[in-house]
Amino acid sequence: MGRKAEGRVGFIGLGTMGREMARNLIEAGCIVRAYDVRREAIDELTALGAEAASSPADAARDADIAITMLPDTPQVEEVVYGAGGPKSGLLTNPPRGRLIADMSTISPVAVRRMAADLKAAGIDMVDAPVSGGPIGAKNATLSIMAGGETDAFARAKPFFEAMGTTINHVGAPGAGQAVKLCNQLICGINIQAICEAIALGRACGVDLRQLREVLLGGSAASWMLDKLGPSMIEGETGAGFRIDLMLKDLRLVQEQALSLAVPLPGTALVTSQYLEARAHGEGAHGNQALFRVYDRMTNQSAQPTG
């Protein structure tokens, strides 16, 4: 569990990550009013002590802060600007505390536009994407990288501390997303590197479980090798962080890089492999399923050793 916190939170988006983050806010001492387009997701949260909301505006109304944890840019824009017409979004129905923290991974350009529109209406927006995956969300050990005005970040921080342990203010609105895109680029290329090492180790007849343990003790160690290595080796495809969500992030990385004329050849290569995985119907699988691309390239299937 994270640090103790108090206050009212409107939480919008109760999926793999949002469900656990909202639960940690409740356990920390906050009153959480929760909304998702899926009724069953709201029911799950009310069973944990949340109040049920009938819309994003209803979730936010009495809150000190509204937090969104949604798949992509269009969903966050829908919640801010309103899907049921301009009067239904948070822009015209802000939380009482006039503070919104979007913790999804979305376009930094869209964040800057929304933050400016909200600011013109006297509402502060902090972009605060996270790293640490479903395990970090569950254990309240997320790394949270926030962009926004200093005062807005200070007001949001106690809520972030209930969900994470590494919390940094990295600049103006959009800066949190820029740092997150750098994070995702490293994650994608790192997963690819692990796939290549396991493909080579398998071809050499090495015990793959031992290979992973040995690598974890040296300079090739990484979070991805530690957390995703076992399911890669066993051919287990269950989703924590889905292939299609990583593809969304790699698209955001490339859009940003292209607009600034920054060549990212490594990112371009791994993006092609993610596209190949999705073309094989694996978009809903976890990121470790990128190894299936290497199965196909080597005409092999997962072979647990030992």
Looking at the annotation, which residues are catalytic? Answer: 180
Q: Does 14 bind ligand NAD (CB under 6 A)?
A: yes
Least distance from C-beta 101 to ligand NAD, angstroms? 13
Q: Does 13 bind ligand NAD (CB under 6 A)?
A: yes
Least distance from C-beta 89 to ligand NAD, angstroms? 10
Q: How far apart are CA 92 and CA 63, in angstroms?
A: 14
Among 5, 17, 163, 198, binds ligand NAD (CB under 6 A): 17
Q: Does 183 bind ligand NAD (CB under 6 A)?
A: no
Instruction: Name the residue nearer to ligand NAD (CB basis): 164 or 201.
Output: 164
Q: Does 37 bind ligand NAD (CB under 6 A)?
A: yes
Q: What are phi and psi of 172, to 5 degrees?
A: -75, 175
Instruction: Name the residue nearer to ligand NAD (CB basis): 103 or 211.
Output: 103
Identify the three-state secondary structure at position 171: strand
Residue span binding ligand NAD (CB under 6 A) among the ranges 34-42, 168-176, 192-200, 224-232: 34-42
Least distance from C-beta 114 to ligand NAD, angstroms? 14
Least distance from C-beta 300 to ligand NAD, angstroms? 27
Q: Does 43 bind ligand NAD (CB under 6 A)?
A: no
CA atoms within 13 A on the CB side of 201: 24
Instruction: Name the residue nearer to ligand NAD (CB basis): 153 or 241.
Output: 241
Q: How far apart are CA 60 and CA 80, in angstroms?
A: 11
Q: Does 164 bind ligand NAD (CB under 6 A)?
A: no
Tokens at 115, concatenated: 């933050």
Q: Which contacts (CB < 8 Å, 24+ apart) does range 71-78 have?
A: 71/13, 71/15, 71/104, 71/245, 71/248, 72/104, 72/106, 72/248, 73/106, 73/107, 73/110, 75/13, 75/104, 76/102, 76/104, 76/106, 76/110, 76/114, 77/110, 77/114
| Residue 255 near residue 108 (C-beta atoms within 8 A) | no
Q: Does 52 bind ligand NAD (CB under 6 A)?
A: no
Among 11, 153, 160, 241, binds ligand NAD (CB under 6 A): 241
Q: Does 70 bind ligand NAD (CB under 6 A)?
A: yes
Instruction: Name the residue nearer to ligand NAD (CB basis): 36 or 282.
Output: 36
- Tell me which residue of 81, 130, 80 sits closest to 105, measured CA to CA: 130
Q: How far apart are CA 204 and CA 201, in angstroms?
A: 5
Among 66, 79, 90, 145, binds ligand NAD (CB under 6 A): 79
Q: How many residues does the chain have?
A: 306
Find the helix or strand (DSSP H, E) in which 52 lies.
strand 51-52
Residue span binding ligand NAD (CB under 6 A) among the ranges 63-71, 199-207, 220-228, 265-273: 63-71
Site mask for ligand NAD (CB under 6 A), range 86-105, x = bound: ------------------xx
Q: Does 41 bind ligand NAD (CB under 6 A)?
A: yes
Identify the three-state secondary structure at position 169: strand
Q: Does 78 bind ligand NAD (CB under 6 A)?
A: yes
Q: How far apart are CA 160 and CA 238, in angstroms?
A: 28
